[in-house]
Amino acid sequence: MDSKPWFFWYVLQLMVHLAFVLVQLSGKIGKHFQVCEFSYLQIQDSYLLDFVFLVVAKTVGRKLLKMKNKRFEILQQNRKSKEIDAPLLYQQFQSLHQNFFQFHKSSMDSYSPFDCLIFDLDDTLYSSSIGFGDATKRNIDDFLVEKCGFDERKASTLRVQLFKTYGSTLAGLRALGYDVDADEYHSIVHGRLPYHLIKPDPQLRNLLLTITQRKIIFTNSDRAHAMKALNLLGIADCFQQIICFETMNPNLFNFKSASPEEFPVVLKPSLEAFNIAIDVAGVDPSRTLFLDDNVGNIAAAKVVGLQTVVVGKTMKTNEADYALEKIHNLTHIVPEIWF
Ligand SMILES: [Mg+2]
């Protein structure tokens, strides 16, 4: 029975608090009311402020949730059309942000589970089936014959063996003690590629421009090749950073006279290469999306904690969080990027 008066007192207090908050929120507070507010807050400050915070948080939360759902709706609508109109999508998102909130769109990026996207280059952002794959193999064979003196008939077999064992021909040659200069190797293997076959990709460019998070290239290729390919695709300015052969192997350039055994070549999929990339990019792996066509690279990326997309595949591998047949389908497969 003793609890009854306490209960009524509690309900009364709650009603007074509620009325007070409603008056506050309705914006009808006059100067004279602020005097009462001060004395009232002195007594009830913690409870009242908690309540105000709760109401504000709920209101803002509902608004944010509504916007998130709206973004998803827009994505779904765009999915129905055969090709995503990226600039239109971007425009729709922009106006959505402006309608809901009057501040910059970057403040909305926190809804996406990704702060950064790391892209492989070859066979991820363009297909080497344009003639690059065969040309690269031919160029490596030429290097083995011209610069290392191997028999022309054995070059192809050796190339395959070195790739399987060491991850790349250059890595294999240096591991076997051949003092191969990386610049000379790349000048033949990449320098002789038929670059005229890479055409601009405006669809990919527009897609990349809708992604507001940081975008980074992470490739085993040398910088010259990466820049050439990105420029020809018309997407070089879409990326904030390029992590490439030179980034992973600074010692090969700083200590050119050192023996090959002293500085083995570091490349994907070694964990060392991934740790260098994470360090150089300064990213949180758990909030970074890594896209690559090589399943070995995807597996290594998972080990270091990255979120992964295997590109060029219809089925997910064990270590891939998503599978993407073509990079252009990114909005269909990973819409969370735009949340
Ligand atoms: Mg690749």
Span 142-160, pLDDT tens digits: 999 999 999 999 999 999 9
Higher model confidence: residue 17 or residue 85? 17
Count Cβ atoms below 10 Å from residue 173 Cβ, excluding itself.
Answer: 23
- DSSP symbols for 264-313: ----TTSHHHHHHHHHHHT--GGGEEEEES-HHHHHHHHHTT-EEEEET-
Instruction: Quote the ligand 1 centre to 317 CA distance (angstroms).
Output: 16
Share of the chain above pLDDT 70, in %: 72
Can you name the residues that pair with 308 across neighbouring β-strands? 290
Triad 174, 170, 160: Cα angle to 5°: 115
End-to-end Cα separation, the chain, in angstroms: 54
pLDDT of residue 73: 72
Per mean pLDDT, which range of 57-66, 150-159, 215-224 is the poorest? 57-66
Please report which confidence band the pLDDT of residue 333 belongs to, taking 50, 70 and 90 as the band edges. very high
List, as ranges, residues with CB under 5 A of the ion ligand 1.
120, 122-123, 293
- The CA–CA distances, whole Å, from 184 to 170, 195, 229 equal 11, 18, 19
Cα 134 from Cα 150, distance rounded (Å): 20
In eight-state DSSP terms, residue 134 is H
pLDDT of residue 42: 42
Res 296 pLDDT > 90: yes
Cα 338 from Cα 109, distance rounded (Å): 8
Instruction: Quote the ligand 1 centre to 122 CA distance (angstroms).
Output: 4
Res 126 pLDDT > 60: yes
Instruction: Quote the ligand 1 centre to 74 CA distance (angstroms).
Output: 31
Instruction: Quote the ligand 1 centre to 163 CA distance (angstroms).
Output: 14
Look up the pTM and report it: 0.69
Break the chain down into helix, strand, coil percent, rounded to 5: 60, 10, 30
Mean local confidence (pLDDT), 217-223? 96
pLDDT of residue 108: 46
Higher model confidence: residue 260 or residue 192? 192
Instruction: Quote the ligand 1 centre to 314 CA distance (angstroms).
Output: 16
Cα 283 from Cα 92, distance rounded (Å): 29
Give the tens place of pLDDT for each residue, 171-204.
999 989 898 999 999 999 999 999 999 999 999 9
Count Cβ atoms below 10 Å from residue 25 Cβ, excluding itself.
Answer: 13
Mean local confidence (pLDDT), 74-93? 63
Residue with tokens 């991850």: 167
